[in-house]
Structure 1
């Protein structure tokens, strides 16, 4: 390979299909980071070159295209996937070929692979804080609605256990196809109205998420009295749902576009300059952006695309991300992340109501799922009058 040859990396995000509303923003986050790195001369004088494929939100395609990237395109580092089912397709491929896979999405936990760097929140960083917040502010009776695949089922299993630990109760649980439309949710919305829960925990994703929120609003549901609380609903989906149907609903995530910090302002300006708008910036977009920068730092240290050497350089690595400083945990390949809970205001913007004081260590196996401990490590943003989230 010539000394000035580009470093090739693979991008595996859908720009079509039901999860494209999220994955397109993840792709943009990666492309922005690559542009920034290349504008500074690349890594050790060599540019990053992205080879990108669109799996079309079709789960088996992620594994097939990961194989293509490794065998045909000679790529050994891949960034990709939103749904856990698609991650599960890529996982055996990168393990068999000893490639390095960056997964920039929250997930259900209970997994470890030496070939994966997990960049999204695991349950200790979002499910536990959200359960504590809902029971402390709304009540103990929660209704579950989810999409019918791995992540919602496992996430609900975790959330049910955490709620029980705090004296909570699941009063209903329903799952829907990823292609579900607004009319498909009418019956469950009627059930919710009859059950009168204190809050709804939603793991409905993609376009179906938008359809569910609209169905709830159309039936008279009001987030200010009985909110839909989620780990996945983000700025892009809220924009599609509309402010009137979104107000009062809640999301727990490491990052929101409204975070007021110099790093986030620089990120949003650069993103807006490149893509013309920041309306689709999400926590998964921010995670992808940060993971590409972390990879570039490790590559600069190793000077080679060897998976084992890159992994060694990544473990313990830090980055001043738009959300705040993050760090890859050498114990489990997951990431220390900020943790925030935000409520949608009348303009359709997330306003952070509660945040941790420092990045939370990832605990993917919930070895220490102490729900009540979380409240002692938080700041109530609204109480101080601060909008610096």
Structure 2
């Protein structure tokens, strides 16, 4: 094929649809969005967050900082929320939260009638327990959800919501009054304080207009693209196999003041940031970790905990550490 590399795809469905073609033709894709993990293709570099770089730390924040005792896991009905919530449900149970204190609900894309679901969430706290919502609700459905919470008189102090799919772009042009004080977990926010970020945001606004915002998947592509360029220069070719080999251990400054490193499992080491939504649609960063290495296979599901991905030394994305064999016959679609 004439294509050296693809930067893109937004949903997990689109990524999984591209996988068979990438693998058959030995293509290369950089995928920039947080995702559910449980995948490791030799033809994809995952520059967005795996669950241990977004969902798990956000849940820890709820448990440790906000004292949340009951959890509502609300998601849009597709692969990313379902897999993420399977992991989170097990993680919460492992951390002493009773199964009965975890409410899981899925709604279709564009869902608009949130009154019953919000009532169910409020009911969780009827006994005085602190309730928190972990949201994998995607797209426009978010507007109706936050509006319904506000209409029910629920503030972020009463029932905090932490979202994994609400960022600056989603908030731009919205009336954010219903969202102020609620949280989002990402690996980058436009409001991150670093000289590099100031320059980058200024350049973006100069090119696209002052009202345009940056967001986490943009930073992921910025890192991934620069790493690819450096790998091509190191390899002296755009040949996929040579570039893949040159990608391992690539380092590039991220925009939050640290350094992104490409790991042998095709994931990055990234800091985890939690931001509080402000009235102007930006985020006040209230928590930031040091770099967390992305994990292709979660430690919190027994069948995945035994798997590791190492394309550099083991040449395998699904290596079973107990049997010491590569169990990857084909990708799991």
TM-score by length of 1: 0.72
Given candidates 348, 352, 361, the residue that maps to 2:293 is 361
SS where residue 102 of structure 1 aligns? strand
Q: Kindly indicate whether the alpha-carbon contact (under 8 Å) linking 1:138 and 1:199 is maintained by their aligned counterparts in 2.
A: no
Match for residue 243 of structure 1?
A: 176
Q: Kindly indicate whether the alpha-carbon contact (under 8 Å) linking 1:238 and 1:246 is maintained by their aligned counterparts in 2.
A: no
Q: Kindly indicate whether the alpha-carbon contact (under 8 Å) linking 2:187 and 2:272 is maintained by their aligned counterparts in 1.
A: yes
SS where residue 30 of structure 2 aligns? strand
Tell me the CA shift for residue 212 of structure 1. Answer: 2.0
Tell me the CA shift for residue 297 of structure 1. Answer: 1.1
User: Does residue 272 of the first structure (1) align with residue 205 of the second (2)?
Assistant: yes
Match for residue 223 of structure 2?
A: 290
Given candidates 72, 90, 93, the residue that maps to 1:143 is 72
The structure-2 alpha-carbon separation of the partners of 1:278 and 1:366, relative to structure 1 and needing over 3 Å to count, comes to farther
Partners of 1:254 and 1:131 in 2: CA distance: 15
Tell me the CA shift for residue 348 of structure 1. Answer: 3.5
Alignment map for 1:238-387 (pairs within 5 Å): 238-277=171-210, 279-323=212-256, 324-330=258-264, 332-356=265-289, 358-367=290-299
Given candidates 156, 170, 195, the residue that maps to 2:85 is 156
Which structure has more helix as a fraction of its residues? 1
Given candidates 156, 160, 172, the residue that maps to 2:103 is 172
User: Does residue 99 of the first structure (1) align with residue 27 of the second (2)?
Assistant: yes
Match for residue 306 of structure 2?
A: none
Q: Kindly indicate whether the alpha-carbon contact (under 8 Å) linking 1:317 and 1:328 is maintained by their aligned counterparts in 2.
A: yes
Partners of 2:15 and 2:211 in 1: CA distance: 26
User: Does residue 185 of the first structure (1) align with residue 117 of the second (2)?
Assistant: no
Tell me the CA shift for residue 241 of structure 1. Answer: 4.2
Match for residue 226 of structure 1?
A: 159
Q: Kindly indicate whether the alpha-carbon contact (under 8 Å) linking 2:91 and 2:300 is maintained by their aligned counterparts in 1.
A: no
The structure-2 alpha-carbon separation of the partners of 1:179 and 1:368, relative to structure 1 and needing over 3 Å to count, comes to closer
TM-score by length of 2: 0.83
Tell me the CA shift for residue 214 of structure 1. Answer: 2.4
Partners of 1:312 and 1:276 in 2: CA distance: 38
Tell me the CA shift for residue 103 of structure 1. Answer: 0.4
SS where residue 261 of structure 2 aligns? strand
- Which contiguous aligned blocks of 4+ residues in structure 1 show a shift greater than 6 angstroms? none
Match for residue 57 of structure 2?
A: 129
Q: Kindly indicate whether the alpha-carbon contact (under 8 Å) linking 1:210 and 1:237 is maintained by their aligned counterparts in 2.
A: no
SS where residue 144 of structure 1 aligns? strand
SS where residue 124 of structure 1 aligns? helix
Partners of 1:281 and 1:216 in 2: CA distance: 27
Q: Kindly indicate whether the alpha-carbon contact (under 8 Å) linking 1:147 and 1:205 is maintained by their aligned counterparts in 2.
A: yes
Tell me the CA shift for residue 150 of structure 1. Answer: 0.2
Partners of 2:173 and 2:132 in 1: CA distance: 22
| Range that drifts further, 210-219 or 152-161 | 210-219
Q: Kindly indicate whether the alpha-carbon contact (under 8 Å) linking 1:250 and 1:341 is maintained by their aligned counterparts in 2.
A: yes
Partners of 2:23 and 2:159 in 1: CA distance: 44
Tell me the CA shift for residue 322 of structure 1. Answer: 1.1
Tell me the CA shift for residue 315 of structure 1. Answer: 1.1
Partners of 1:285 and 1:187 in 2: CA distance: 35
Number of aligned positions between the proteins: 293
Tell me the CA shift for residue 100 of structure 1. Answer: 0.4
Q: Kindly indicate whether the alpha-carbon contact (under 8 Å) linking 1:124 and 1:364 is maintained by their aligned counterparts in 2.
A: no
The structure-2 alpha-carbon separation of the partners of 1:199 and 1:367, relative to structure 1 and needing over 3 Å to count, comes to closer
